[in-house]
Amino acid sequence: MSMNKKAKGARLERKTIKMLQSAGYQCIRSAASLGPFDIIAMNHLGFRCIQIKANDWPRPEEREGLRAAAKSLPPNALIECWRWNDNAREPIIKLLDELNY
């Protein structure tokens, strides 16, 4: 992965965190994508486990990894994919189960 892609990913993660924090969430960023999720957002209602993508949705093998990780999470954890298209002001947000298999 080129530094340009890493920098873009980090920028989108920071942008996402700002949006979530302004909506009242506390956020944890998994730097360098060492875990299955890029961001964990929490509030009094539960958890949002978020995978961030630029211009695309997670590939099938990535989705399987997210599903496997979700099995150990509490029932109030949502597994979300946020797709930021270039020059978009807002992401397209889908639950993992809404993505095609």
Q: Which CATH class is domain 3-98?
A: alpha beta
Q: Whole-angstrom distance between the N-terminal and C-terminal Cα of the chain?
A: 25
Residue 21's alpha-carbon distances to 28, 41, 86, in angstroms, are 11, 9, 22
Stretch 83-97: mean pLDDT, rounded? 95
Mean pLDDT (whole number) for 65-79? 91
Say yes or no to pLDDT of 101 above 60: no
Show me where the domains of the chain are located: 3-98
The tens digit of pLDDT for each residue in 44-55 reads 989 999 999 999
